[in-house]
Chains A and B, each alone.
Chain A
Amino acid sequence: MGAEPRSDLSTGLKPWHAIVSEALKRNEVRLVTYVPDRVLTPLIDSVHKDDFFTAFASTREEEALGIVTGAWMGGMRGAVLMQTSGFATLPNALASLAVPYQIPLLMFVSERGTLGEFNLGQALVCRTMRPVLDALGIENHTITRLDELDFIVDRSIKQAVATQAPCALILSPLLTGGKKFAH
């Protein structure tokens, strides 16, 4: 089973995936391509169900980055959804395409390999993500709270477009509920 989205009944906030897809819509981000992640499944499902979005799977994260780059240059905004291990395949394409060509590439990364996961490989890969982003000077935020989510996503999209720069939004298990484990 997929992770249940955390929502805050006391404040009446929507689930995290609804907040993200609404922020994408509000900012005219129509193309959403992804390499799947169990935690991202409710977001992937919601963009597939909504005709506003052109949503499809790519075979690699690099490919997804290339597609979003082409779409941006052609006048269509796009985002890539991935998990941490997928992000680790991207440094070359970020350094030779998205950053130097000034592409407002939006990356949503489901943070795996932390806060109680069991796979050592994922845990090690997770530790490479922020140093890579910092080395390339890519704006990045780790989102842990539902009440900050819309503000961060909305503002980050606007800044990426205005400054013509990629941006990574790391979705913490504190926000998404993370991976659910079998007992």
Chain B
Amino acid sequence: MDIASSAAHHANLKVTNRFELSQRLVALLTQGEAVIGGIGNTNFDLWAAGRRPENFYMLGSMGLACPIALGVALAQPKRRVIACEGDGSLLMQLGSLTTVATLAPKNLTIIVMDNGCYQITGAQKTTTAFSADIVGIALGAGIKEARWAADEAMFESLVRRALLEDGPQLIAARIDDKPAVATTERDPSLIRDRFMRGIGVKA
């Protein structure tokens, strides 16, 4: 897909739901894949979808899910690593897409849940509600394997593909403006320690 056709495609996508997609994602993770959940609703729904020890939950540092996932991917090249990010967060750190494309870690996938708004602060519109197209931006950054998921089934098939084929890959899905169904336990050192044990760094 090229940048122009991605933008044209955008209007025809089914509007899915973050918790629904998070549950489908977690159900596909059977090989100890590490998942970095971005700030706010993205990691809240990831938390609600199942408390995997290989999940890391950010409680601040908006925009850093992709850089953190890149760091994990560089440190553990044999493990698949997924960054789960919202559109507002990704827009804050767009340069990181170019770093991911440049280093091109084969084991890294970025999933973007795009609701076109800062839901958690009052649903103010982000620029993806207007002309900005996340997949087009990723393609422009140099991430060749970047695709929109047209519906839930396609989201699942893109995740399956990302877990088997070389990355870096980016999967974006349009989601509704519903809040997350739960909130993550806010204990940073516990989250970090659990994650390090979950991915075998601490015994």
Q: Which A residues lie at the B interface, using CB under 8 A?
A: 31, 54, 56-60, 62-76, 78, 92-93, 95-97, 100-103
Q: Can you report 7 residue pairs joining A to B where beta carbons are below 8 Å apart?
A: A54-B74, A56-B102, A64-B67, A66-B96, A71-B75, A76-B75, A101-B191
**Distance to closest chain B CB from A105 (angstroms):** 11
- Pairwise interchain contact A75-B201, C-beta atoms closer than 8 A: yes
- Pairwise interchain contact A66-B71, C-beta atoms closer than 8 A: yes
**Distance to closest chain A CB from B144 (angstroms):** 19
Report Cα–Cα, A78/B70, bound state, in Å.
Answer: 13
* Cβ-defined partner of B74 (8 Å) among A31, A59, A101, A102: A31
- Pairwise interchain contact A96-B99, C-beta atoms closer than 8 A: no
**Distance to closest chain B CB from A64 (angstroms):** 8
Determine the residue in chain A with the shortest Cβ distance to B201.
Answer: A75
Determine the residue in chain B with the shortest Cβ distance to A31.
Answer: B74
Report Cα–Cα, A67/B103, bound state, in Å.
Answer: 12
Dominant secondary structure at the B interface:
helix
Determine the residue in chain A with the shortest Cβ distance to B74.
Answer: A71
- Pairwise interchain contact A59-B75, C-beta atoms closer than 8 A: no
- Pairwise interchain contact A67-B71, C-beta atoms closer than 8 A: yes
Chain A neighbourhood of B48, CB < 8 A? none
Chain B neighbourhood of A96, CB < 8 A? 59-61
**Distance to closest chain A CB from B79 (angstroms):** 8
18 other A-B residue contacts (CB within 8 Å) besides A67-B74, A70-B71 = A31-B75, A58-B99, A59-B99, A62-B63, A63-B64, A63-B96, A63-B99, A67-B99, A71-B71, A72-B71, A73-B56, A73-B72, A75-B75, A76-B71, A95-B60, A96-B59, A96-B61, A103-B192
Chain B neighbourhood of A62, CB < 8 A? 61, 63-64, 67, 93
Q: Which B residues lie at the A interface, using CB under 8 A?
A: 34, 36, 56, 58-76, 79, 93, 95-96, 98-99, 102-103, 188-189, 191-192, 195-196, 199-201
- Pairwise interchain contact A66-B98, C-beta atoms closer than 8 A: no
Determine the residue in chain A with the shortest Cβ distance to B190.
Answer: A101
Most buried by A among B64, B67, B72: B67
**What 10 A-B pairs are tightest by C-beta distance, nearest first?**
A70-B71, A96-B60, A59-B95, A74-B75, A66-B67, A66-B64, A76-B75, A71-B71, A70-B68, A97-B61
Chain B neighbourhood of A63, CB < 8 A? 64, 67, 93, 95-96, 99
